[in-house]
Every structure is written in C-alpha cells, then in structure tokens.
C-alpha cells in the first residue's frame, strides 16, 4: 500500500478529463493537515473539495458532498477512487444504505459493489456518508488495518445546528477522517469552475495559511485540536 501522493493522484485521475459535478449539491471546503493528505479537486477559489490520504495500512478518499458520490457524471473518478482504495484485488466494495445509488454507478463501471450496512469481511472498500456517528471506531480500525474508505458529506448544515466552534472536533465525519489529516469544515465550497489538473493542485500559501488561522482561532483552541504542520502541496 506504500505509494507517493504523486502516484496516488495519477491513479485517481487516470482517464478523468473533466469534473462533471452535479449542480444542486452545495459542498463544503475541506481542510488538509500534515503530509499524508493531498488535494484532488480544487476550485478556482483555491478551495479543496475532494482530497485523499492514508492512515495505517489503509487509504481514504474524502468528498465534500455526499451527492457527488451518487452522480453518474463522476463515474470515471469514482471507479478510479475505489480501485485505488482497494488493497486486495477482487475484494468487494460495500456501500452503506444511505448511498445506495452508488452501487449502480460502480457496477456499471465493472466494480463488484453491494449494499452493506456493516463492515463484515471480506470487504476491500467501504463507502459511507459523513453523518454516521455509530461506526466511528469500526471505520477507523477498518482503514488502519488496510481497508479503503470513500466518504462524502458537508459540514455547513451540521454547524448551523450544533455550532461552528465544534465542527472540527465533533462533526461525525471528522471523527473518522481527522486521523488521516482531512477535515470537513463549515465553509461553503464555491461551485463555479473546476479544472482537471495533471498534477496535484497547488494551493496558494496565503489561502492555506488563512484557513489554518481561522480554525486555530475557533475549534482548535476550544476543543484542543492540534495541527501537525503545513502540508507539502502549499505553494508560495
């Protein structure tokens, strides 16, 4: 499972020539921390909307709205994502009932996918939305021991109900993805323009720094969440 971010990005983007994202879903911006996490899809505002990372022996792909996981327009990327996430060729992909339509999309791409409400063996990949708070420990252990996790959701609505100061530490999806340095935020993601990059997209240093400072002044101080350092994909 050892791979460089560059090779991982190439595998994820193989054959993807455009980002055919659905128009209705309003995504959230993703915050990436540390060296393992890297951006995959970035809008023209410098906001990360799809990211990938690794934890233990496994891998994660994080998408900023669950609607992106249920739209056939993103089928080429979703096929690549599941392929990259799976460490055991031929192992089936489990899909949580909340994302049932994803099964049809994956099966049409030749992926052995099935609706499955739990993480029973011998799954290679599991797909779930970011709102489930009943499987946190199981999902973390699944990835740690070599499983692949495809997870999608947005945190801006949750923040409106539970408070912006709690998003990084208490939003259900962040309880899982934070172990790999990826966080859902309460910041709306711009749906304007998406460019397919041939290399890992670079995020302007001032943009990344501003996001770091915003989070430090809120959730990080209140709930004692800590950063591990600026990621390597930040550019000056």
Query: Angle 228-68-53 (CA atoms, 0-180°, nearest 5)?
Result: 25
pLDDT tier at 209, thresholds 50, 70, 90: very low
Per-residue pLDDT tens over the stretch 121-158: 899 999 999 999 999 999 999 999 999 999 999 999 99
Backbone torsion region of residue 36, taken as left when φ is above 0, otherwise alpha when ψ lies between -120 and 50, otherwise beta: alpha
- Total number of domains in the chain: 1
Q: How confident is the model at residue 89 (pLDDT cuts 50, 70, 90)?
A: confident
Domain extent for 116: 5-235
- The whole-number pLDDT of residue 193 equals 84
Q: Tokens 């089928």 identify what position?
A: 75
208: pLDDT strictly greater than 50: no
| Interval 45-72 mean pLDDT | 97
Residue with the bigger pLDDT between 10 and 90: it is: 10
Q: Taking the model in full, what pTM does it have?
A: 0.90
Residue 206 has pLDDT above 60, yes or no: no
């Amino acid at each position: 499972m050892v791979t460089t971010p560059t090779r991982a990005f190439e595998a994820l983007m193989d054959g993807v020539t455009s980002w055919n994202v659905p128009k209705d879903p309003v995504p959230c911006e993703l915050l990436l921390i540390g060296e393992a996490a890297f951006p995959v899809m970035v809008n023209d505002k410098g906001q990360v909307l799809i990211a990938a990372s690794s934890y233990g022996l496994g891998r994660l792909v994080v998408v900023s709205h669950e609607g992106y996981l249920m739209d056939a327009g993103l089928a080429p990327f979703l096929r690549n994502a599941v392929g990259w996430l799976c460490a055991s060729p031929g192992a089936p992909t489990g899909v949580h009932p909340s994302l049932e339509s994803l099964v049809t999309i994956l099966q049409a791409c030749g992926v052995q996918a099935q609706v499955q409400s739990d993480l029973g063996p011998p799954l290679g990949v599991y797909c779930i939305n970011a709102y489930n708070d009943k499987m946190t420990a199981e999902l973390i252990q699944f990835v740690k021991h070599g499983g692949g996790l495809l997870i999608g959701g947005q945190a801006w609505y949750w923040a409106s109900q539970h408070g912006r100061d709690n998003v990084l530490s208490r939003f259900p999806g962040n309880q899982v993805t934070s172990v790999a340095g990826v966080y859902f935020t309460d910041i709306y993601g711009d749906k304007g323009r998406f460019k397919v990059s041939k290399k890992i997209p670079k995020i302007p240093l001032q943009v990344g720094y501003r996001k770091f400072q915003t989070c430090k002044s809120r959730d990080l101080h209140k709930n004692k969440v800590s950063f591990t350092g600026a990621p390597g994909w930040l550019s000056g």
